[in-house]
Amino acid sequence: MTVKPPADRDLAPRYVPWSEEAALAVMRALPALRGPLLPVLHALQESFGYVDPKAVALVAHELNLSRADVHGVLTFYSDLRTSPPGEVRVQVCRGEACQSVGGHALAEHAVSSLSVGFGETAADGSVTLEEVFCLGNCAVGPTVRVNGRLHGRVHAAGLDRLIRDSTPSGEPA
Ligand code: FES
């Protein structure tokens, strides 16, 4: 399955291009926090879609931390990305409750139909596939999140439809 990038769909997050100036503006707009590293990294990801590796030195300088500290946190949390996500971001829950109601088959379907592995983005940037471990929607699994929107009781055909609906024309992907 090839996913075409969405045009003006509200499901598709819009990010600003990475720049040092924009990153500084994002960081400096945050209130003073105790332990600000994670909120800063999340704020950068919300703005740019990912945390550019070039931000490590910038964040370290701004927060008076070592580059190793920032790099360690950035690479520890799987929620934080260091490269731009695809236009359509598909997250499949691999938690036990979802696995018990068909989540494994759904995960296999996602990999084979999108031709991309978990944690990978298609070469054309159309889709990113991620595994997550519980989205807090256990009672109505299997659960997926597509471009930030949660969906329950999703099986193969439903996942295909959700992805198709995130394309600009809604045409089969
Ligand atoms: S295990 Fe999938 S939402 Fe909780």
Instruction: Please write the tens of the pLDDT for every residue from 69-128.
Output: 999 999 999 889 999 999 899 999 999 999 999 999 999 999 999 999 999 999 988 999
**Percent of the chain clearing pLDDT 90 (strictly above):** 72
The domain ranges of the chain are: 88-165
Q: How far is the CA of 108 from the centre of ligand 1 (A)?
A: 17
The predicted structure's pLDDT at residue 12 = 58
Give the separation between CA 173 and CA 169, rounded to whole angstroms: 10
The answer to whether the CB of 145 is under 6 A from ligand 1 is no
Average pLDDT for 149-171: 85
Average pLDDT for 41-69: 95
pLDDT category at 35 given cuts 50, 70, 90 is: confident
- Please determine, looking at this structure, whether the domain spanning 88-165 carries the CATH number 3.90.1150.10: no
Contact call for residues 84 and 125 (beta carbons, < 8 A): yes
Which residue's structure tokens are 């045409």? Answer: 171
The answer to whether the CB of 58 is under 6 A from ligand 1 is no
Q: Is the pTM of this model over 0.85?
A: no
Q: How far is the CA of 81 from the centre of ligand 1 (A)?
A: 22
The answer to whether the CB of 63 is under 6 A from ligand 1 is no
The answer to whether the CB of 60 is under 6 A from ligand 1 is no
